[in-house]
Amino acid sequence: MGLTSVAPRVAVSVVTVLAALTAACASGERSTAGESAEPVHYVALGDSYTSAPGTGRGVGSPIGCERSDNNYPRLVAAELAPASFTDASCGGATTEHLTSPQQTADGTNPPQLDALTPDTTLVTLGIGGNDVGLVQLAGQCAEVAAEGGRCGESAAVEERVGNTVAAVAEAVRAVRERAPDARVLVVGYPTILPADPATCADVLPHDLADLAALREGLDLLNHVLEQQANAHGARFVDTATPTAEHHLCAAEGQRWIEGLESTTGAAPLHPTARGERAIADAVLAAIRTR
């Protein structure tokens, strides 16, 4: 075989390798995002911190679940471009509504786990807050504070969180059973209140001791979520750390959690659109880190 016949083949081989390397480099960011040759079938489960009422245009059925087109599952899906995507989240959901229908003010949401199949490859689960009732408790304490009183609920908050451990454990187990080949991410709750309750003195009417108890309750709930995720083959996504300086008592331009009265359209004491973006970024970072 002469040199004239070898050279073109070598040139073609080099071009082929360079083309493959270029394609690999170009797709590197997408592959680190958790994508692979296998199609991604993504299902989002959760409560109002997942459905994110008021952070965008309402989408999905039933309307009573108040899902936003700007919630973190949709922001995640927009980047992953999955082969299929189902947002089963619903405002007001508890762990019970993973396996039972949920009646809303406008329609019934099927059991959220019904959205899972053996083909599901990615699940995000944000649940437990309504089991504890921290948002409702915060509202009640605000009413008490307006009359000059305090809740004094520190022990009760710990008890409430303690009572959710078994329910959270069962929720993660059930997800794993319904979608045995899926990557399961248990998404924690963002920082709602600052570490120093005095920061909220001019923002919230609550007694500072009540604020401290509520903050400790949310920290404890996140700990339970992380613990049960680790115990049942899932991964916990910390959203409290990236939102730590953006609690509801932060300066207006830095606030990613709505106050007792909404100024952005988001539900009171829930993430704003910027908060949902921060949660989505935390979820994407977890997906990209294998």
Residues annotated catalytic, as ranges: 48, 270
Side chain identity, residue 120: T
β-bridge mates for residue 159, sequence order: none
Cβ burial, residue 95 (10 Å; 0-12/13-18/19+): buried
Question: How far is the C-alpha of 187 from the C-alpha of 125, rounded, in Å?
Answer: 6
Q: Which two tokens stand for residue 213?
A: 């108890």
- Strand 122-126 vs strand 84-87: parallel, antiparallel, or unpaired? unpaired
In this structure, are residues 206 and 252 in contact, taking their beta carbons and an 8 Å threshold?
Answer: no
Residue 84 zone, left/alpha/beta (φ > 0; ψ -120 to 50; rest): beta
Question: How far is the C-alpha of 9 from the C-alpha of 5, rounded, in Å?
Answer: 7
Going by C-alpha positions, the residue among 92, 90, 171 that lies closest to residue 136 is: 92
Question: How far is the C-alpha of 240 from the C-alpha of 222, rounded, in Å?
Answer: 8
Q: Tell me which DSSP letter residue 47 carries.
A: S
Going by C-alpha positions, the residue among 44, 67, 42 that lies closest to residue 56 is: 67
Question: How far is the C-alpha of 112 from the C-alpha of 156, rounded, in Å?
Answer: 29
DSSP assignment of 19-38, as one string? HHHHHHHHHHHHHHTT--SS
